[in-house]
A = this chain, B = another copy of it.
Amino acid sequence: MSEPIHPLFVPQRLLLGPGPSQVHPRVLQAMSTPLVGHLDPVFLHIMDEVSGMLRQVFRTGNRLTLPISGTGSAGMEAAIANMVEPGDPVIVGVNGVFGQRLAETVRRCGGEAVEVSAEWGQPLNPSEVRQALSSVTRPKALVVVHAETSTGVLQPLEELSQMAHSWGALFIADTVTSLGGTPVEVDRWEIDVAYSGTQKCLSCPPGLAPITLSDRAVEALHARRAKVQSWYLDLSMIERYWGEERVYHHTAPISMCYAIHEALRLVLEEGLEARWARHRAMSDLLLGGLESLGVLPLPDEGYRLPMLNAVRVPEGVNEAAVRSTLLNEFGIEIGAGLGPLKGKVWRIGLMGESATRASVVRLLDGLMQAMAGVD
């Protein structure tokens, strides 16, 4: 026999990376509520409430609005696998890790991914998107990342949505990092599929992926020639479990549904507008403080994510050593750069419960100490 494993021992962390964010004690408490069955009328009622609150947060009346039973990437795959059929041309904006992942997923679903690239740290150029749409016959969808977590870039969506629709294409947006922290207007911007994660601005542990489909998207789902290649993520079956029919598909992750129920209650208690304003104010506070340390944002003004601040590591500073000091001596997690930005940026998340004045003050203090100590 191996050695017995000790109980969990988890140090206190201030989570200021690209997610997970801090979780409110009310959410942790709700999550630890004893379980009921996944077909219990009590649970079905909770599901309805979760869907209803998600509609408010996504700003939509879409019937098909629910959390997918997986993390944000499962939401991404659900969006693509349900909308894309073999041979479909799909325009994908690629200016970071999550755009790359989307293009790869389109290809794995048998679609033809037409990539529109921009430099990492820059938004997409709408005229290049238009060009890509016009370069293919009957584009099935235009897919873009609203909040590119790998670069801190906020991609404006309205113009791209109109463009997609004028070409008869569906408009799909990755709102994993934006939802709950900056405006996501599903109905007003006519987004056909938006998906998200729970561990960013909703401040819920990772494990669910909220998704919403417009009527146009639901029509496309029902009009598919081929079955959705994923059984687990097939929304034509999942909608019958979350809808009125209550047809068993898979066992919902009960405890995670308890958690998102409470997390969404907290979001709506605060109010979306107030929450967006708080994220913007805390980002401004952070960037002001960082400027005095000589740490400047990567994206241009007007394209900066308030909840995920990608900032350039100053010349001569050992970025990994600073992150490690922050984690081990100050108990603060921030994120590293990915891909071409590796070693060049830090990604500082101020998401949901993490977006507070106290977080900013602790981070600025810790960063100042860590940069001085390891210069």
The verdict on A36 contacting B11 (CB below 8 Å), with A231-B108, A252-B206, A254-B205 known, is yes
Whether a CB of chain B sits under 8 angstroms from the CB of A32 is yes
Other-chain contact of A207, B11, B28, B76, B207 (Cβ < 8 Å): B207
Whether a CB of chain B sits under 8 angstroms from the CB of A52 is yes
Are B71 and A230 closer than 8 Å at their CB atoms? no
Q: Please, what's the 1-or-0 string for A1-21, where 1 marks a CB less than 8 Å from any CB in chain B?
A: 010110111111101010110
- Copies of the chain in the assembly: 2
Give the residues in chain B near A59, CB-CB below 8 Å: none
Are A73 and B231 closer than 8 Å at their CB atoms? yes
Q: How far is the CA of A178 from the CA of B280 in the complex (A)?
A: 50
Are A20 and B38 closer than 8 Å at their CB atoms? yes
Stretch at the interface among A131-139, A188-196, A256-264: A256-264
Are A261 and B8 closer than 8 Å at their CB atoms? yes
A197 to B, closest residue via Cβ: B251
Are B5 and A265 closer than 8 Å at their CB atoms? yes
Are A32 and B34 closer than 8 Å at their CB atoms? no
Q: How far is the CA of A264 from the CA of B166 in the complex (A)?
A: 54
Enumerate 23 A-B pairs (CB-CB under 8 Å) in ascending A order. Answer: A5-B49, A5-B52, A5-B53, A5-B264, A8-B46, A8-B258, A10-B34, A10-B42, A13-B40, A15-B37, A17-B37, A20-B37, A20-B254, A31-B255, A69-B74, A71-B252, A73-B250, A101-B231, A108-B231, A199-B251, A207-B207, A255-B259, A256-B256
Chain A residues within CB distance 8 Å of chain B: 2, 4-5, 7-13, 15, 17, 19-20, 22-23, 28-38, 40, 42, 46, 49, 52-53, 56, 69-74, 76-77, 81, 101, 104-105, 108-109, 197, 199, 205-207, 227-233, 248-256, 258-259, 261-262, 264-265, 268-269, 327, 333, 338
